Structure 1
Amino acid sequence: MTSAASAIDLSKRDLTLDIARVFCVLLVVVIHLLMVGVGSSAEGELVVSRPLEDQSWFAGVTWAGQIMPLFFVVGGFASLTAWRSSVRRGSTAAAYVRNRVLRLAQPTLPLFVFYVVVLGGAVLVGVDRSLLDVVATGAGAPLWFIAAYVLCQSLVPLMAALHARAPRLTLLGLLAGAALVDTARFTTGVTEIGLLNLAFVWLLIQQIGFWYADGWFAARRWWQLVAIAAVAYAALVPMTVYGGYSDDMLTNLNPPTVPLVALGIGQACVLRLLRPALAKLMSTHAARAVVFVVGSRLMTIYLWHLPVIIILAGVGLLVPGASPEPASPAWWWTRPLVYLLVLVAIFGLSFLVGRWEAPRELGATPPPLIVGIAAALTFIPTFAVMEWYLDVWLALLGAALLSATVLLLGRWGSRRPAPAAPAEAVTPA
């Protein structure tokens, strides 16, 4: 992991995107920590709740706290940059997709294996099924990102070609597709129709990252960026008041909806406005050290933070006074300490599972058909968890299919080595 990171030429890297990526992942941990309420009531009974969502101000805060669109904007920037670099080196679309799929499948595989062991063991020892379902549903929540991101990454070569030929038409086409899907979903009442926007919405937001990489946002004056961001956020008002969309931007996440596009545009503008301050911050050794330590473990943090939160919550029940009633003043005041404990635990865990996050180049690139099959094998179990929630059977499915992905892409019999991939992290960004 360290050798790959040290190979990055910082003079050619926009470090403000690295700090944005780190901020986003750490904010996700905060949000999920505040959604997991496990403690004891005044009567000594077990209480399991979602304290953050119960707050009257929660929906409004999601307009700023829903930062998943920024993940895909930053990811679009990194993807287009990496794709163009690979093209210049004479690499192929299959090689690019193979590398990206591996970087998603590898760190996700041990998580599914962990769930097989834990959930399977819980079923065998007779843990209450309703409690187990609640825990498993929460623990598997972040896996939707893997499904959405592997879809977007697999289509980067195609979307980059469309961006080069018709950038505006590509944006308009994706926006029209997203709007049509939402219209069909709301008019028919069939929520599953909205799943088509896993492609339209996230590809559109990734495409905004392409525009960011091409300097479109850099070419705007500061007041223009402020105006664009203001219009983007203001557009959420009619969409939520009259358009039938929820005012809770987390509700608009799965299936993804058009309001996320408005958030993506606004967040891209804010990121560009903050760039001078972020660049100054990243010129310090301390900031670079923090970003490196956290950034080299981003997939580990993202994938494992909820299991760690749940485990610590369970351990807290065994310690007298360590689990105050969720949403009580004592519960809120102890969250910063619990947050630090979660990060420390993940840091320790990263020495065990972090090796799966390190990019690897093993052998030549498989044929495009094999790469496509591997991408599908990565998408299927994570999409299934998003749609039907995690249980021991989906954990088994994920462990099996992701093992097949790693075997298919990890090595391919050929004497001709694959071109080296750029040292670029594929993380939730």
Structure 2
Amino acid sequence: MSAAAATTSSPDLSGRDLTLDLARIACVVLVIVIHLLQVGIGRAPDGSLVTSRPAEAQPWFDAATWAGQVMPLFFVVGGFASAAGWESWRGRGGDATGFVRTRTLRLAQPAWPLFVFFAVVLGAAVLVGAPSDVVSAAAVGAGSPLWFLAAYLLCQALVPPLFTLHTRAPRATVIALFAGVVLVDVVRFSTGIAEVGLLNLLLVWPLAQQLGFWYRDGWFARRSPLTLVVIAVACYAMLWPLTAWGPYSTSMLDNLNPPTLPLVLLGLAQACILCLLRPALERLMRVRWVRGFSFVLGTRLMTVYLWHLPVILVISGITLLVPGAAPEPASPAWWWTRPLMFVVVLGGVLALSLLVARWEALGVLGPAPSRAVVAVAWLCAFVPPFVVMQWFLSPASALLGAVLLGIAVLLLRHRLFARQRVAQSVGSQA
């Protein structure tokens, strides 16, 4: 039995770029900030409850998403990490089945308690007769980040074959994926069938991941700063005709699900900008408190991402109970309280992570299940966030997620489903 298949508790950090860890943390922090500006829950001057999405009502919002939509960069950075992880895994004798197993667990384990929480809370709200419109609005908001799980699960499952294609034909692979993105968008917008755009889940995010492979190979580092600036400017320049005359929204948030061509251009531009900022980020990572903050937040990053919106909603609800603590959304007082809310929310999520962090750590794993079991488990992990992405979070989808994600974790962890008996595994390691 190989070491790669036996444990995941000691990851190989060779080839790790700590500036990318900082970039990934910055992406999640920015997502929290954006959601804080989108969730408006407060009191009107007459004391009535007011809910709105203040940021989206601002005239500058669409333009801000051209800089604030950082999910393409997250997948680029994830591609770098995935390439390093896959090469390290293979170097320790691991195979594609074991790799997909561990990557699926890294997403399914932290997501399972969240879906259980949603199932309990939303189910209780229905049982006590809470207003359906309020429950629905809260559920839709709290579940909005879960699309990421479906997209990232797809990307992680595709790492072994796409990395192989990258090593054999890197340019042809990128060109084929890019052509596929364009073709899907053409069919989608020419036919008016929005569901066709779902095919781009298999193309847009894997293409951004592929850019991460190129980043790790040093392609971006070998370009001159002027070249990187020209590429980034060209990508943003192409967004203007695509959104002004083409079928795409000027809001990069609207281009997110299903994903579209503008996100590919954003990903390439952001990869160039990240490379330009790398010297500054390296200097920043030499600062002790920055490294400490990055370690604390980085080791809990999935928990922070998954739970930040429920925490925002809970804290916003608590402020309604405190006189004067919940100003009217979009009022000057509301905007001025956002920095304080950010600190409170981040502290609340980190405190919560102490309770649920054990679900983010894989620990020591036994022998991997068969390919068929891993495939079934992956599907069980993929379906819940995909359902939420398409039909939003509800008591039914939360319960479905709690059940299927629990099955996924059981299939991937329990020795009953291992390819080899534990006794044989122990003997092979002696």
Scaled by the length of structure 2, the TM-score of the pair is 0.94
Moved over 4 A (4+): 4-12
Is 2:308 aligned against 1:309?
Answer: no
1:17-36 to 2 correspondence within 5 Å? 17-36=20-39
Aligned partner of 2:278 in structure 1 is: 275
- Output one character per residue of 1:98-130: Cα deviation in whole Å (capped at 9) or x when no partner: 000000000000000000110000000000001
- Output one character per residue of 1:170-194: Cα deviation in whole Å (capped at 9) or x when no partner: 1111111111111111111111111
> Out of 363, 366, 377, which is 1:360 matched to?
363
Aligned partner of 1:328 in structure 2 is: 331
Letter in 2 for 1:235: M
Check the 8 A contact 2:9/2:363 in 1, yes or no: no
Aligned partner of residue 235 in structure 1, secondary structure? helix
Aligned partner of residue 405 in structure 1, secondary structure? helix
Q: What CA distance in whole angstroms lies between the structure 2 residues aligned with 1:166 and 1:13? A: 24
Aligned partner of 2:98 in structure 1 is: 95
Aligned partner of residue 73 in structure 1, secondary structure? helix
Q: What CA distance in whole angstroms lies between the structure 2 residues aligned with 1:294 and 1:362? A: 24
Deviation at 1:310, TM superposition (A): 0.3
Q: What CA distance in whole angstroms lies between the structure 1 residues aligned with 2:10 and 2:401? A: 32
Deviation at 1:287, TM superposition (A): 1.2
Letter in 1 for 2:390: E
Aligned partner of 1:214 in structure 2 is: 217
Deviation at 1:12, TM superposition (A): 4.2
Check the 8 A contact 2:12/2:88 in 1, yes or no: no
> Out of 134, 148, 169, which is 2:151 matched to?
148
Q: What CA distance in whole angstroms lies between the structure 2 residues aligned with 1:365 and 1:356? A: 19
Q: Quick one: percent identity of the two aligned structures?
A: 58
Letter in 1 for 2:148: F
Q: What CA distance in whole angstroms lies between the structure 1 residues aligned with 2:398 and 2:364? A: 27
Aligned partner of 2:19 in structure 1 is: 16
Aligned partner of residue 155 in structure 1, secondary structure? helix
Aligned partner of 1:387 in structure 2 is: 390
Aligned partner of 1:116 in structure 2 is: 119
Unpaired runs of 5+ in structure 1? 419-429
Aligned partner of 1:424 in structure 2 is: none
Deviation at 1:8, TM superposition (A): 5.9
Q: 1:96 to 1:7 in 2, by over 3 A?
A: closer
Q: What CA distance in whole angstroms lies between the structure 1 residues aligned with 2:425 and 2:148? A: 31
Aligned partner of residue 250 in structure 1, secondary structure? coil
Deviation at 1:13, TM superposition (A): 2.2
1:2-401 to 2 correspondence within 5 Å? 12-401=15-404
Q: What CA distance in whole angstroms lies between the structure 2 residues aligned with 1:304 and 1:95? A: 28
Aligned partner of residue 47 in structure 2, secondary structure? coil
Check the 8 A contact 1:69/1:261 in 2, yes or no: yes
Deviation at 1:209, TM superposition (A): 0.5
Q: 1:35 to 1:5 in 2, by over 3 A?
A: farther
Unpaired runs of 5+ in structure 2? 1-6
Deviation at 1:9, TM superposition (A): 6.6
Q: What CA distance in whole angstroms lies between the structure 2 residues aligned with 1:283 and 1:121? A: 48
Letter in 1 for 2:146: L
Q: RMSD in angstroms over aligned alpha carbons?
A: 1.5
Letter in 1 for 2:386: F
Check the 8 A contact 1:30/1:339 in 2, yes or no: yes
Q: What CA distance in whole angstroms lies between the structure 2 residues aligned with 1:69 and 1:357? A: 23
Q: 1:171 to 1:155 in 2, by over 3 A?
A: same
- Output one character per residue of 1:29-77: Cα deviation in whole Å (capped at 9) or x when no partner: 0000110000111121111000000000000000000000000000000
Check the 8 A contact 1:364/1:411 in 2, yes or no: no
Q: What CA distance in whole angstroms lies between the structure 1 residues aligned with 2:44 and 2:8? A: 47
Q: How many residues align?
A: 415
Deviation at 1:10, TM superposition (A): 6.0
Q: What CA distance in whole angstroms lies between the structure 1 residues aligned with 2:280 and 2:332? A: 35
Q: What CA distance in whole angstroms lies between the structure 1 residues aligned with 2:16 and 2:213? A: 16
Letter in 2 for 1:106: Q
Check the 8 A contact 1:38/1:47 in 2, yes or no: yes
Letter in 1 for 2:364: E
Q: What CA distance in whole angstroms lies between the structure 2 residues aligned with 1:5 and 1:230? A: 41
Q: What CA distance in whole angstroms lies between the structure 2 residues aligned with 1:390 and 1:183? A: 30
Q: What CA distance in whole angstroms lies between the structure 1 residues aligned with 2:345 and 2:8? A: 24
Q: What CA distance in whole angstroms lies between the structure 2 residues aligned with 1:196 and 1:303? A: 25
Aligned partner of residue 251 in structure 2, secondary structure? coil
Deviation at 1:5, TM superposition (A): 11
Deviation at 1:286, TM superposition (A): 1.3
Letter in 2 for 1:246: S
The range that moved more, 219-228 or 98-107, is 219-228
